Structure 1
Amino acid sequence: MARIDLHLHTRFSDGSLTPAEVVDLAHQAGVTAVAITDHDILDGIPHALNAATPLDIEVIPGVELSSRFHERELHVLGYFVDWQDSTFRDHLAQQRRSRHVRNPQTIERLNALGLELSVEEVKAKAGSDSIGRPHVAQVLVEKGYVQDTREAFDRYLKEGAPAYVPRTLADTRDVIAWIRNAGGVPVLAHPTWTRCQGEPLHRLCACLKEAGLLGLEVFYSSHNRRQTSRFLELAKRLDLLVTGGSDFHGAANPDIQVGRGKGNLKVPAALLDPLRQAAR
């Protein structure tokens, strides 16, 4: 059975590889279609399209947007978006500016803790102007303050840690509308990150569906068999499209492979046509 991977990051956000390198890994893994879903930026898509042409791999234009819904941070994936739509690109630029405001504040807090690093060093780690905490974490690793990026987040950067700075985020309902207006299909990413399950998760997804949500990321690298089954049932109950992907980032999380996740991920290619049909 052919496999696809609809959740991939490149150097244009917080991944470690170029779009061409990610597409090549997909080809090696036997993946027939990929979605480049960098955070708040679309600039990697044309590079992936060029790399995929000789390999006969379909590239779905995508993006991942952070948002806030009643004090809860949610990530929304957008598929088949018009990546050249100027209004949509303006919204994404707005999202990136919120990172630019937070980054110096984060670095100031790290400096106050005795960790020497600068905004310029963090910018140098990024492949675009989508600069965030993963790039700060990379500098902390490089300077020997932590062993890996996971420790950087646990000790300094995650919510509740001493260098954490909240980020101004758009309302989830607005983000869904941006994606729909750009011709795309909005999908709730990694539902385990919502920190709710059972009936509360059902109510959350039902509310978001009323706002225009069309899908749920059911297949995901960290989902176990039981979770995948529950999310499939939830998508069925709410008549939401089913999607899936590895959330590949490269060096930041070497346990995750393109198309295979932690080794047992297999996103069926049959999920792609309903997703395509939902896009206008």
Structure 2
Amino acid sequence: MPHLTPLGTLRRLPHLYPGGVIDLHTHSTASDGTDSPARLVEVAARAGLTTLALTDHDTTSGWAEAAGSAARQGIALVRGAEISAIAATRGWGTGVHLLAYLHDPAHPDLLAETERTRDDRESRARRMVDLLSEDYPITWADLLAQTQPGTTLGRPHIADALVAAGAVRDRDEAFATILRPGTRYYVGHYAPDAVAAVRAVRAAGGVPVLAHPGADARGRVVPDSMIEELADAGLAGLEVDHRDHTPDTRRRLRDLAGALGLLVTGSSDFHGAGKQNRIGENTTAPEVLDAIAEQGYLEVLR
């Protein structure tokens, strides 16, 4: 397991807004983060955040633990998830991520989709480990050693197992070389259509925001035409301020959000020690959080 975030070295963030410091995209050990939900909240509080969203991949299993920690730490919690989806339009198609905020976790349609995605993620991970084991000293048990019970399995956990085996230095090297699409070890997994996912989040009372839509380094630049289609389906906003977006990309996405009447969010996409992203490095304005809270089925826990 990668090292936990060292609490004693966290830099206090300036309070950029009168309403506090708001980070609406983070991950815990319920998916591919390296801090437990409780520790993640503690990390956020130590860093000076006043509001944190927990958005693990295709799961809400960390919500209860995070809520207890948020109450102890005295910060607000936005309960959410990052939904895997496939977007396709006019001959273009790729995987995208949809941040769902404040939805009903028991809504049958959305729950069925996330359960199907998680199940297929596990099958995919098994297939990838089988392929990798032909060339690297890695087993299924090695992967499970990098996870917690109930974790949404993904390539980051395979990367952690490869790091533990000495095959690569870190997750970044694993993704850049062994685990990227196009290698013989890469296997895809099921994800719902993005338009259907937006509608499912809305049906569950949630507020859907498209995560890092201009992340060209990941090969995931979502065309404006696709964003327009998602907006017609009920998309609420775009995650504009993200470390994978250049200044020009941020300006373009802000203009597009304005034209489509979408909210603009900013967030860290923090994964603990699993990525270089620093908690609170990009933030969301309080009035945007207010708009999200007004639309959500659940309340922000304060």
Q: Distance in 2 between matches of 1:149 and 1:196?
A: 19
| Aligned partner of 1:27 among 23, 27, 45 | 45
1:213 CA displacement: 1.3
Q: Residue 10 of structure 1 corresponds to which residue in structure 2?
A: 28
1:84 CA displacement: 4.0
| Aligned partner of 1:107 among 129, 132, 135 | 129
1:117 CA displacement: 1.3
Cα deviation, 1:218-269, whole Å, max 9, x if unaligned, reads 111232333222211111011011122100001111x211112xxxx34322
Q: Distance in 1 between matches of 2:127 and 2:169?
A: 23
1:37 CA displacement: 0.3
TM-score (norm 1): 0.91
Q: Residue 190 of structure 1 corresponds to which residue in structure 2?
A: 212
Q: Residue 165 of structure 2 corresponds to which residue in structure 1?
A: 143
Q: Residue 278 of structure 1 corresponds to which residue in structure 2?
A: 295
Q: Where in structure 2 are the equivalents of 1:180-259 lying within 5 Å? A: 180-193=202-215, 195=219, 201-253=223-275, 255-259=276-280
Q: Distance in 1 between matches of 2:264 and 2:105?
A: 22
Contact kept, 8 Å, 2:215 with 2:245, in 1: the verdict is no
| Aligned partner of 2:73 among 55, 72, 91 | 55
Q: Residue 123 of structure 1 corresponds to which residue in structure 2?
A: 144
Q: Distance in 2 between matches of 1:129 and 1:32?
A: 26
1:35 counterpart SS class: strand
Cα deviation, 1:149-208, whole Å, max 9, x if unaligned, reads 1111121111112211122221112211221121101111101137576xx732111111
Unmatched 5+ stretches in structure 2:
1-16, 298-302
Pair 1:65-2:83 in alignment: yes
Q: Residue 4 of structure 2 corresponds to which residue in structure 1?
A: none
1:75 CA displacement: 0.7
Q: Distance in 2 between matches of 1:80 and 1:196?
A: 25
Contact kept, 8 Å, 1:244 with 1:267, in 2: the verdict is yes
Q: CA RMSD in A?
A: 1.7
Q: Residue 267 of structure 1 corresponds to which residue in structure 2?
A: 284
1:30 CA displacement: 1.8
- Compared CA separation, residues 102 and 206, structure 1 to 2 (3 A): same
Contact kept, 8 Å, 2:113 with 2:192, in 1: the verdict is no
| Aligned partner of 1:36 among 28, 34, 54 | 54
Q: Distance in 2 between matches of 1:84 and 1:211?
A: 22
**Range 211-220 or range 2-11, more displaced:** 211-220
Q: Distance in 2 between matches of 1:168 and 1:92?
A: 10
Contact kept, 8 Å, 1:4 with 1:33, in 2: the verdict is yes
Contact kept, 8 Å, 1:77 with 1:189, in 2: the verdict is yes
| Aligned partner of 1:132 among 133, 154, 160 | 154
- Compared CA separation, residues 196 and 120, structure 1 to 2 (3 A): closer
Q: Residue 75 of structure 1 corresponds to which residue in structure 2?
A: 97
Pair 1:179-2:201 in alignment: yes
The number of residues matched between the two structures is 272
Cα deviation, 1:70-93, whole Å, max 9, x if unaligned, reads 231111110111234455333221
Percentage of matched positions with identical amino acids: 34
Which 4+ runs in 1 deviate beyond 4 A?
Answer: 194-197
Contact kept, 8 Å, 1:217 with 1:243, in 2: the verdict is yes
Q: Residue 96 of structure 1 corresponds to which residue in structure 2?
A: 118
Q: Distance in 2 between matches of 1:193 and 1:97?
A: 27
